[in-house]
Amino acid sequence: MLSLYEPDWTGGHSVTPIAVEDMGNGTAKILIYDNNFPDEVKAIEVNKTANTWKYITSINPKKPPKVYSGNASTHNLEVSSLSSRLGTQKCQFCNERNVTNPQESQAVQSGEVLIQVWLFGDAHLLITDAIGQRIGYLPSGEFVNEIPNASAKFFKTLEAPLTKEPMYSIPATPTSQKLSIKIDGTGLLNEGYQNLMITGPCFNIGAQKIWLEPGETDQMSVTWSPYCDNARIEYRTTSKSKTVDLIVSLKSKDADHEFVVRGAKVTRSGALIVELDTCKFCFITEGNSDPGKAQLMMRRVNDPGEQFFANEGLLLLEGDAVCLDFCNWQGEGSSLPAEVKRSDGTTETVTLADNPALHQDYYENPTLPTPETPSTVTTPPKEETEIPSGATYCSKTGQWEV
């Protein structure tokens, strides 16, 4: 397989080479099969004397073509084997074990399964485990990796919404069952949206639509159980006030449940807390002077299909909590009651209605805005790189140091 990248690494495409045709005068054509043009034999033009190549194509046949080109120093034309792509691809964060069995839960903690952390945006992450080991960027721009067998993989292309931040892979062990993730805007030139996603053994956790100003830092603490029976998020910010969407889901035997707290406001003095177990979901506003109005949504997925539930928006005050016992759902067409516990000791009930329209409103049009401005922080080269434990990256020299 041949992989081609644009000169600025903002996009790429792969093709299958068929033959090489010598055109004379130091030139040649690499004849290829391009899956975007299945009825044609295409060609990459090569100038052996000048050590250059060029190919005009589009990664989407419906869009105008682009020029892919390079030379001996750009390293943006590569050959890779098909054998590595024809086998069964292992899901590194999946877990198919019966985690209600204590012996199987120990296997989940052995590090065989990975937790993957992604940031879509121009900020940096610094991830700290339960014993203080870190992976990610320090405020100085230095990259550290102190977590055994953890790695950071940088993307070869920087096409939106992917940016310069690597994908972090952390072994699922007892020390990673509590992670503190700093979303650091120290190196930002301008404000922009950030979106954080964490995937692990039968859980998904996220924070989306995070508006980050230069110099601001937000913090999200994540706790999960090796039995995959509960997860917890705590979100804080250094800004005066902002809204954020929080997402948490658990996989279970009978059905998977995902919850979204949409548009909740967090202030510098407080926190947003989300707790989920196998039957109960709770959202708590802690110390927020103005938590604002939030929408609660639930998606239930099982073999027959999906169900979507939501309320119209709930005005929350400081110290309020709303909890939902979703195991009491009565079946297709029925709504879900949620109990709101006010900080003054009073309670009330709100309803999450069965609302299939949410599929189009939220899940088919997810809130993943493209960052509006580039970052000023220097990052490692664009090549996909595995970083071993103990290595540090110096943004000043551009070198990895062990």
Q: In this structure, are 310 and 167 located in the same domain?
A: yes
Q: In this structure, are 241 and 357 located in the same domain?
A: yes
DSSP-assigned letters across all residues of 175-197: GGSEEEEEEE-TTBSS-EEEEEE
E strand or H helix at 84 = helix 83-86
Q: Which residues have a Cβ under 8 Å from the Cβ of 207 and sit 6 or more positions away?
A: 183, 195, 196, 218, 220, 233, 235, 244, 245, 246, 247
Per-residue pLDDT for 282 more than 60?
yes
Q: Are 57 and 66 in contact (CB under 8 A)?
A: yes
Residue 96 falls inside a structural domain:
no
Per-residue pLDDT at 370: 36
Residue 391 falls inside a structural domain:
no
Per-residue pLDDT for 201 more than 90?
no
Q: What is the mean pLDDT of residues 172-179?
A: 92
- Most confidently predicted of 104-108, 114-118, 301-305: 114-118
Per-residue pLDDT at 395: 39
pLDDT digits (tens, 9 = 90+) for 325-383: 998 888 777 888 999 999 889 999 998 888 777 655 665 555 443 333 333 333 333 34
Q: How much of the chain exceeds pLDDT 70, in percent?
A: 80
Per-residue pLDDT for 36 more than 60?
yes
**Spatial distance between the Cα atoms of 310 and 324, rounded to a whole number of angstroms:** 12
Residue 373 falls inside a structural domain:
no
Residue 392 falls inside a structural domain:
no
| Domain membership of residue 341 as a residue range | 102-363
Residue 245 falls inside a structural domain:
yes
More confident residue, 68 or 369: 68
Q: Which tokens go with 223?
A: 């706790």
pLDDT band, very low/low/confident/very high, at 238 (cuts 50, 70, 90): very high
Q: Are 73 and 53 in contact (CB under 8 A)?
A: no
Q: In this structure, are 289 and 326 located in the same domain?
A: yes
Per-residue pLDDT at 334: 82
Per-residue pLDDT for 247 more than 80?
yes
Per-residue pLDDT for 293 more than 90?
no
